Amino acid sequence: MSEFDTLASYLSVAPEIGLTILLLIVLAFSVARREVERAAVPYIAGFGMIALAALPLIFAPGDANSTIPEGLYWGGMIRYDVLAQVFRVMILLAGGITALMASGVRGVGRRGEFYIVIIVATLGMSLMSASADLVMVFVALETTSIPLYILAAFKRDDTRSAESGIKYFLFGSFASAIMLYGLSLLYGFTGQTNIYQLAAFMGSDAFANNLVPVLASMVLVVVGFGFKVSAVPFHFWTPDVYEGAPTPVTGYVSVASKAASFALLVRFFVAVYPETLALSGESLQNFWIQLMAVFAVLSMTLGNVLALSQKNIKRLLAYSSIAQAGYTLIGVAAIQSQELSIASVGFYMFMYTFTNLAAFTVVILFSEATGSETIADLAGLNRRSPWLALAMTIALLSLAGIPPTAGFFGKFFVFNAAVRSGLTWLAVVGVLNAIVALYYYLVVIKVMYVDRSEDEDKPIPVGRQYVWVLWATSLIVIVLGTVGAQTVYDWAARGAMGLFT
């Protein structure tokens, strides 16, 4: 990026520009006078974002972008490489699916501003996956978080939604303030804000004996990331927010916000604390590998154990999502296997996005029809709506990691990376946890297929857009678990290479 290349610069933020335009279109339609135009808003927002997911594929980053500084745009704020491309595609698809999912939900679906806020949050996440500067990291994180606080409290007259919003807000702003202080320390050590220059300055002789302050800054930043991916011990907010927020928002927070945070986390840590950086003879990478390994074990174990006793399906999926963050953190901790590690994180998030969205779509349809979110009330779902029960089964098997669903390869790649980087014990803990998790996923399947209920002659009404969403997500989950796994994994692996230059 020696001179300012106008066209390439704009193309590097093409999805963001597209989202801004889409936002204005949705805004215009949501205040339209005619009812038929207002009713089109969810479809414009949903299909608009799905269409925008093609932009990163059309304007793919060139081979030169995998090197520094060629991949940097806008004065070093944006790094457009294959990893950013992978995560942008999954975030935009998740945003579009969420908009379609929300369209039939009472109190949310007919409100145009809901879709505007979703688009803004998607914009922030898209920037997160490409941030290359401390300023951009902070601004993108907050552009994501602030709309999500609004979304969680969207049914503001509902006490549970308001409570979930304020809890999310107080924990979230606390975590980002802690992270910001960590960023200010990093700036103080180096006088640089570009994450690709921090390491070189911290490795200079002036810093040779300042291990403690550098570690302090690392811990502060880890708190912020730990909150965003809901890793134990920063997970307090997760079950409450997931239960209280409107269900489409829960689905969105659990996949897109987590995916964007993992994209930023791997980019940030690989760039700022690389393998080569050693202070006082201690490799900094070892410290964060240990931190991530501990978080992974805690998140998997606590998430799975607490999920066992849940009665509410949204709360169960909340604890399951804490555990899933734990599996992904195994992939992050396995960083010494280089691109195997980052590629496994990318694949895991890709398959988790569609799996969890499918599960939440079924939960939305069920709770809209019956007003219940209790697991026991899912009894007889197979006789009420066999296709819904089948979609839920595919999603739950994928979360559990059973072939032929995508979750199997997700876990396989993560554990493979752990073994290759000498963390075999971590892979063993992961496998043991997967067995515990299988129990509570199978209990839900058993309730749907075996238990009887009095309402078996009342099928669940399924709107047309929900049929599309369920077919699409279920098919993607199956394809990623069979023929598509290699393709997506190779794509993520190409993205991973760009981080190690």
Partner 1 sequence: MEIGIGAYVVLSAVLFTLGALGVMLRRNAIIVFMSVELMLNAANLAFVAFARQFNDVNGHLFVFFVITVAAAEVGIGLALIVAIFRTKKSINIDSMNQLKG
> Please, which residues bridge with residue 282 across strands?
279
Q: Which of 165, 251, 401, 430 binds partner 1 (CB under 8 A)?
A: 165
Q: Which stretch binds partner 1 (CB under 8 A): 98-106, 108-116, 173-181, 407-415?
A: 173-181
- Find where tokens 């992270």 sit: 179
**351: burial class by Cβ within 10 Å (0-12, 13-18, 19+)?**
buried
> Please, which residues bridge with residue 374 across strands?
312
- Determine, following the binding rule CB under 8 A, whether residue 422 of this chain makes contact with partner 1: no
For 453-484, b/e burial (b = at least 16 CB within 10 A) is: eeeeeeebebeebbeebbebbbebbbbbbeeb
Q: How many residues bind partner 1 (CB under 8 A)?
A: 44
Instruction: Give min distance, CB of 388 to partner 1, in A.
Output: 26
Q: Which of 98, 144, 164, 416 binds partner 1 (CB under 8 A)?
A: 164
Cis ω for the linkage preceding 69 (within 30 of 0): yes
- Helix H segments across 203-283? 211-228, 237-244, 247-252, 258-272
Q: Which of 17, 27, 32, 139 binds partner 1 (CB under 8 A)?
A: 139
* Amino acid in position 312: N
Q: What are phi and psi of 194, to 5 degrees?
A: -80, 130
219-248 footprint of partner 1 as x/- string (CB under 8 A): --------------------xx--xx----
276-315 footprint of partner 1 as x/- string (CB under 8 A): ----------------------------------xxx--x
From CA 95, how far away is CA 87, in angstroms rounded?
Answer: 12
- Determine, following the binding rule CB under 8 A, whether residue 201 of this chain makes contact with partner 1: no
Q: In this complex, which beta carbon is closest to partner 1, that of residue 40 or of residue 139?
A: 139
From CA 368, how far away is CA 174, in angstroms rounded?
Answer: 34
Q: Which of 184, 276, 424, 487 binds partner 1 (CB under 8 A)?
A: 184
Q: In this complex, which beta carbon is closest to partner 1, that of residue 103 or of residue 310?
A: 310
Instruction: Give min distance, CB of 309 to partner 1, in A.
Output: 8
Instruction: Give min distance, CB of 462 to partner 1, in A.
Output: 29
Q: In this complex, which beta carbon is closest to partner 1, that of residue 261 or of residue 393?
A: 261
Q: In this complex, which beta carbon is closest to partner 1, that of residue 206 or of residue 435?
A: 206
From CA 62, how far away is CA 79, in angstroms rounded?
Answer: 12
Instruction: Round the CA-based radius of gyration of the chain to a whole number and report it.
Output: 22
* Amino acid in position 297: V
* Amino acid in position 162: A
115-134 footprint of partner 1 as x/- string (CB under 8 A): -------------------x
Instruction: Give min distance, CB of 165 to partner 1, in A.
Output: 5
Instruction: Give min distance, CB of 209 to partner 1, in A.
Output: 17
Q: How many angstroms from the chain centroid is the CA of residue 75?
A: 27
* Amino acid in position 189: F
C-alpha to C-alpha distances, 238 to 281, 325, 366, 401, 450, nearest whole angstrom: 38, 12, 22, 22, 31
453-492 footprint of partner 1 as x/- string (CB under 8 A): ----------------------------------------
Residues that bind partner 1 (CB under 8 A): 134-135, 138-139, 142, 146, 149-150, 153, 156-160, 162-167, 169-170, 173-174, 177-178, 180-181, 183-185, 187-188, 191-193, 239-240, 243-244, 310-312, 315
